[in-house]
Structure formats: C-alpha cells, structure tokens
Amino acid sequence: MSRRGLVAGNWKMNGLIEAADALVSGILAGLAQRGGKVQCDVLVCPPFTAIQSVGKRIAGSAIKLGGQNMSEHTPGAHTGEITGQMLTNIGCSFVILGHSERRSMYGEDSQLVSRKMASAYRDGLTPIVCVGETLQERESGKTLDVIRGQVSAIFPNLPADTAKREQLVLAYEPVWAIGTGKTASPEQAQEVHAFIRGMLVEQLGGGVANKVRILYGGSVKPDNAKVIFSKPDVDGGLIGGAALKPEDFLGIIDGF
C-alpha cells in the first residue's frame, strides 16, 4: 500500500483527565515496548477537557492528537462551541467531523459537515470526515446511494491546493457496526472503500485519490483488524470502544 496506515482512537465522551492520562500512558508504554516503531500513524482524540493534558504526555512521541468535533464558525458569539484554531492551539492536528453520533443526535447534515471540513482546513487541521449507512439503508439496498450523497457533499468545499486535498481522511463507518460488536466483513468494507476511491478519482483525479486515506470504523478489535486492514482500499481504522483499553488499541495497531 502506498498510503501510510492510520489508526485513530475516538474516545468519545469518556474520561476525566486522570483516566485519559492513564489511558494514553498505557498506549505510550505499549509503543515503547515495541521500540517506539509502528507501521502506521497513531492518533488519539480525547474529550476536549483532556486534550491538553494528554498532549503533554505524548509530547515527543509518535502519537498525534485530535478533536472529535469543531464549529464551522470563526470566533464570536457561539456559546458552547469551539473553533479549529482552539484545537490547534492545544496541539491538535486532526479533527473528526460528521461522526454518525453527531449526525443522528445533533442533526448534523452533510452540508454542515462539509462546511466544517472547510473550516478545519482553514484552521490548519486535517479533517477526518465520517460517512456511513444505517442498517435500514443497507437492508434496502441503498448503501452506495447514501455514501454517494455524503461523499459528494465534500467536493464543493475542498481547498484547491493539491497537498491539502491529499491530506484529507475519510472514514467509512456503517452505523449498524458502531459499538454493536457487528463488523462489516472485510469484503463489505472493501466494496464501499473502493466505491469512495472511485468517486475521489472521478472528482479529484487519480493522483490525489490514491493519496487520500480511507479508514474503516465499526467494532474493530485486535482479532479482526489485520484482515480488514489487509484490503487494498482500507487504510486503517477509526476505533471507538477498543480505543479505551491500551491493550486492545495496541493490538489493533499491531494489525499493520
């Protein structure tokens, strides 16, 4: 694979500072046991309140830091929101956008997610844009239509700059596989990833499309990571539950 893999931990709304510190210390210890060498990029996305403290612990290590969401707006009267610049200010280089929980619980649609993506680029962050179908959509044969709609929305807001386009990360996360223990089969994941790659080729050209990383998310565990990551268009994972236990997260990293 010409793209470097990425394993990203989405800690969601879990962890006071002490617990977040303990979690990242466990990951750091595991990486040290591996001689500090891993075959993929590693990212952790703690809750906002723990980012700074986790950032101090990972300073000088290979682990990168990200946020789980951000506002589309510039600073101003937006109570309860946070800008991308606030994330970079505390050491983040990535931000997860359009996670299915944001879409289903907080009404984020693909246009808003796309505007947030533009704001993330503006603020110097690498966006990880999540897409995925519900169980009902899959069972009624609409998976690829849903994915087409969600992915199409990003193109009008992508920066013109080639390097920035190549930086983009997409995450295919079938909603029915998130936190359920049901994983898409490697073949199901590859089918959707190849479809997304095809859209990227059409819209951005093969040069850019072949650099964009497409992660799979949905009940990835140490025992299924390797086979999923072995698929040609799967460039790593966005990990929820298993990112909260150092041994599981490290086991997934070992999938590369």
Q: Which residues are catalytic?
A: 99, 173
| DSSP symbol at 156 | G
Contact 202, 155 (CB under 8 A): no
Closest chain position to ligand PEP (CB): 240
Q: What are the distances in angstroms from CA 105 to CA 3, 8, 11, 121, 217?
A: 33, 22, 17, 25, 18
| 15 φ/ψ sector (left φ>0, alpha ψ -120 to 50, else beta) | left
- Main-chain phi, psi angles of 40, to 5 degrees: -150, 165
Q: Give Cα separations from 124 to 22, 86, 177 (angstroms).
A: 28, 11, 31
Is residue 252 near ligand PEP by the rule CB under 6 A? no
For residue 8, the surrounding DSSP H or E stretch is strand 5-10
Among 220, 228, 234, 252, binds ligand PEP (CB under 6 A): 220
75: left (phi over 0), alpha (psi -120 to 50) or beta: beta
Smallest gap from Cβ 82 to ligand PEP, in A, equals 19
Q: Minimum distance from CB of 8 to ligand PEP (Å)?
A: 9
Closest by Cα among 90, 98, 198, 110 to 150: 110
Q: Output 84 or 174, the one with its CB closest to ligand PEP.
A: 174
Min separation Cβ 125 and ligand PEP, Å: 18
Q: Segment near ligand PEP (CB under 6 A), from 20-28, 59-67, 77-85, 173-181?
A: 173-181
| 10 sits near ligand PEP (criterion: CB under 6 A) | yes
Stretch that binds ligand PEP, among 109-117, 159-167, 224-232, 234-242 (CB under 6 A): 234-242
Question: What's the CA gap between 245 and 2, in Å, rounded?
Answer: 29
From 6, 175, 234, 238, residue interacting with ligand PEP (rule: CB under 6 A): 238
Tokens of 5: 């893999």
Sole binder of ligand PEP in the list 127, 174, 217, 246 (CB under 6 A) = 217
Binding ligand PEP (rule: CB under 6 A), the pick from 173, 233, 235, 248 is: 173
Q: Which two tokens stand for residue 256?
A: 């590369």
- Is residue 241 involved in binding ligand PEP (CB under 6 A)? yes
Applying CB under 6 A, does 219 fall inside the site for ligand PEP? yes
Q: Using the minimum distance from each CB to ligand PEP, give the nearer residue, 170 or 178.
A: 178
Residues that bind ligand PEP (CB under 6 A): 10, 173, 178-179, 217-220, 238-242
